[in-house]
């Protein structure tokens, strides 16, 4: 048997190519096949003919494939819409965008959100819902160095007043106790967090009795004396300098408490409290921790 003539084969294929696109479209329900793909079902390549919107019968050329797409009549469109999934997608505007990625707006990223049109819309859409839903940004939030927001801890006025007195007397940190300016102490906010936790889990209130073992200059004691105004707050410190500084701070607080008692302009729950005392001694002299309900020890630093 003589070998197949390649020229003849080209001629055959050219005959198929010569077939009118309309016919091809009708045969494949709006999908025109390329001739060499039509022979193999597995390698079938689909050339999508875009159906123009209703009222426009002008054929549309698929630019990607570089071939003339079929011209489609309204009857074809009806038929295609009922049978073919790919052509059903064409009537969907979203699907059309997927077919033409060139016309699609660029994806919005945080970096181009402010510059592109879509980005502006995206940015507005991202911001406005929270406003519309009434989720207003809480005023009690604080932005940290790298943009993270943390909830600000609410402190009572009398607590702030007492810390201000202590700071005025001893400076912001440690009060130069025991030959050095710094020793371990919590920030005002962290101490308030601890107090809140104690209130939540242990019922720390105005009937509680609180002791700080190694009280230093006594900030935790003064704190719980103000909030939640415990019945008795006691600090025991064996380092003389720190105890003396604590005593001096307590003296100022008691003076302030005397002033606040007479001042009618200050609300009752914001007046400076006084149920606090500092002891100079070694905890090892005590046998037990009675009568204290809360034994606190800042055992580090």
Partner 1 sequence: MYWDLWIALHSWFLTLLHGFVYSFPPKLWVFLSEAWNRSRSPYLICFHSPKTMIDDYNFDLELLAQIPTSMHGSKEGHTGYIYQRKGLKPNYVRAYIERSPCDKVFKESYQLVQAGLDTLREAVDKQVEDHWSFSRSMTRSVAREKGVILSKEPDSK
Where along the sequence are the contacts to partner 1 (CB under 8 A)? 172-174, 182, 184-187, 190-191, 193-194, 197-198, 200-203, 207-209, 211, 213-214, 232, 234, 236, 238, 240, 244, 247-248, 250-251, 254-255, 257-258, 261, 274-277, 279-301
Determine contact, residues 25/16, Cβ cutoff 8 Å.
no
Strand partners, 143: 149
> How far, in Å, CA of 64 to CA of 100, rounded?
9
Nearer to partner 1, 51 or 249 (CB): 249
The residue among 230, 254, 246 whose CA lies nearest residue 281 is 246
Least distance CB 256 / partner 1 (angstroms): 11
For residue 228, cis peptide bond before it (omega within 30 degrees of 0):
yes
Least distance CB 161 / partner 1 (angstroms): 16
Nearer to partner 1, 38 or 208 (CB): 208
Alpha carbon distances (Å) from 16 to 9, 30, 33, 117, 190: 11, 17, 10, 47, 82
> How far, in Å, CA of 218 to CA of 185, rounded?
10
Least distance CB 228 / partner 1 (angstroms): 14
Least distance CB 138 / partner 1 (angstroms): 20
Nearer to partner 1, 130 or 173 (CB): 173
Nearer to partner 1, 117 or 187 (CB): 187
Q: Tokens representing 165?
A: 């007195």
Q: Is 14 helix (H, G, I), strand (E, B) or coil?
A: helix
Least distance CB 279 / partner 1 (angstroms): 6
Nearer to partner 1, 111 or 299 (CB): 299
Least distance CB 251 / partner 1 (angstroms): 5
Nearer to partner 1, 69 or 257 (CB): 257
Nearer to partner 1, 121 or 297 (CB): 297
Least distance CB 267 / partner 1 (angstroms): 18
> How far, in Å, CA of 205 to CA of 198, rounded?
9
> How far, in Å, CA of 228 to CA of 273, rounded?
10
Q: Is 161 helix (H, G, I), strand (E, B) or coil?
A: helix
DSSP 8-state symbol, 270:
G
CA 201, 204, 208, 212 torsion-angle sign: positive
Determine contact, residues 189/213, Cβ cutoff 8 Å.
no
């Amino acid at each position: 048997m003589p070998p197949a003539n390649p020229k003849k084969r080209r001629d055959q294929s050219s005959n198929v190519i010569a077939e009118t696109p309309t016919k091809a479209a009708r045969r494949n329900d709006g999908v025109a096949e390329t001739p060499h793909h039509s022979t193999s079902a597995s390698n079938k390549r689909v050339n999508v003919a875009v159906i123009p919107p209703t009222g426009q019968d002008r054929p549309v050329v698929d630019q990607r494939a570089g071939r003339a797409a079929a011209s489609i009549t309204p009857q074809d469109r009806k038929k295609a819409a009922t049978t073919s999934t790919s052509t059903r997608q064409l009537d969907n505007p979203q699907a059309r965008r997927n077919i033409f990625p060139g016309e699609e707006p660029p994806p919005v990223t945080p970096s181009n959100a402010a510059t592109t049109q879509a980005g502006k819309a995206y940015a507005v859409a991202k911001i406005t819902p929270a406003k519309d839903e009434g989720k207003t940004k809480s005023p009690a939030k604080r932005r940290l160095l790298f943009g993270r927001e943390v909830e600000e801890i609410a402190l009572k006025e009398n607590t702030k007043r007492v810390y201000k007195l202590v700071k005025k007397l001893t400076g912001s940190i440690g009060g130069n106790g025991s030959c050095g300016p710094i020793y371990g102490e919590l920030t005002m906010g962290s101490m308030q967090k601890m107090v809140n936790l104690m209130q939540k889990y242990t019922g720390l209130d105005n009937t509680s009795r609180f002791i700080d073992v190694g009280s230093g200059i006594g900030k935790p004691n003064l704190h719980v004396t103000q909030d939640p105004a415990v019945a008795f707050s006691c600090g025991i410190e064996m380092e003389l300098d720190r105890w003396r500084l604590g005593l001096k701070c307590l003296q100022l607080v008691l003076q302030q408490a005397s002033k606040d008692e007479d001042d009618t302009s200050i609300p009752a729950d914001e007046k400076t409290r006084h149920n606090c005392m500092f002891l100079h001694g070694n905890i090892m002299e005590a046998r037990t921790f009675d009568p204290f309900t809360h034994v606190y020890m800042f055992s580090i630093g």
